[in-house]
Amino acid sequence: MHGLVRNLMTRGPICLPADATLTEAAEHMADHDIGDVLVLDGDTLRGILTDRDLVVRAIAAGLDMDSTTVGQLATGHPLVLGPEDPVEFALRLMRQHAVRRLPVCAEGGRPVGILTLGDLAEDRAPASALAAICAAEPTPWPPEPAPAVPTNLL
């Protein structure tokens, strides 16, 4: 078990300025196979935008993905961790606030990582189904065609 957030967090989170568009955010999520981007004001964390936010708050609401900014849609003032915070503190925050990911910020609010439910599952219960799912390679996109079924078996 790793006692500090810095030992489990995913380093180098993808960060975008508040004036980036939702399309740009979606492209970064697809390119990096991630479910969130951090939204910055200068070098300081301003908010977090998830793939679910894009679907529920933007697409389902009919927002224009090319003109709506991440700053307009992101959840502002997210809960944050410090790299030296205990993992137990992170677990308590996730449970109390029903969140699956927490940005990790250095002094001054500069993001240095993100701690996800998957990071915790892989550390705390490496043999669990959740850890296996989180550690699995992503499904390729576009999906590969299914192999042809021999007609003599039908």
Nearest-angstrom CA–CA distance, 4 and 7: 6
3-state class (DSSP) for residue 120:
helix
Query: Global pTM?
Result: 0.82
| DSSP single-letter state for residue 59 | I
Across the chain, mean pLDDT equals 88
3-state class (DSSP) for residue 45:
strand
pLDDT (tens, 9 = 90+) of the chain, 154 residues, equals: 459 999 999 999 999 999 999 999 999 999 998 999 999 999 999 999 999 999 999 999 999 999 999 999 999 999 999 999 999 999 999 999 999 999 999 988 899 999 998 888 777 766 766 656 666 676 666 777 777 777 666 5
Nearest-angstrom CA–CA distance, 39 and 132: 29
Nearest-angstrom CA–CA distance, 28 and 58: 16
Name the residue type at position 89.
F
Confidence (pLDDT) at 40: 96
Strands laid side by side in the 101-105 sheet:
10-11, 111-116, 101-105
Q: Nearest CA to 88 among 122, 124, 126?
A: 124
Sole residue written with tokens 């705390």: 124
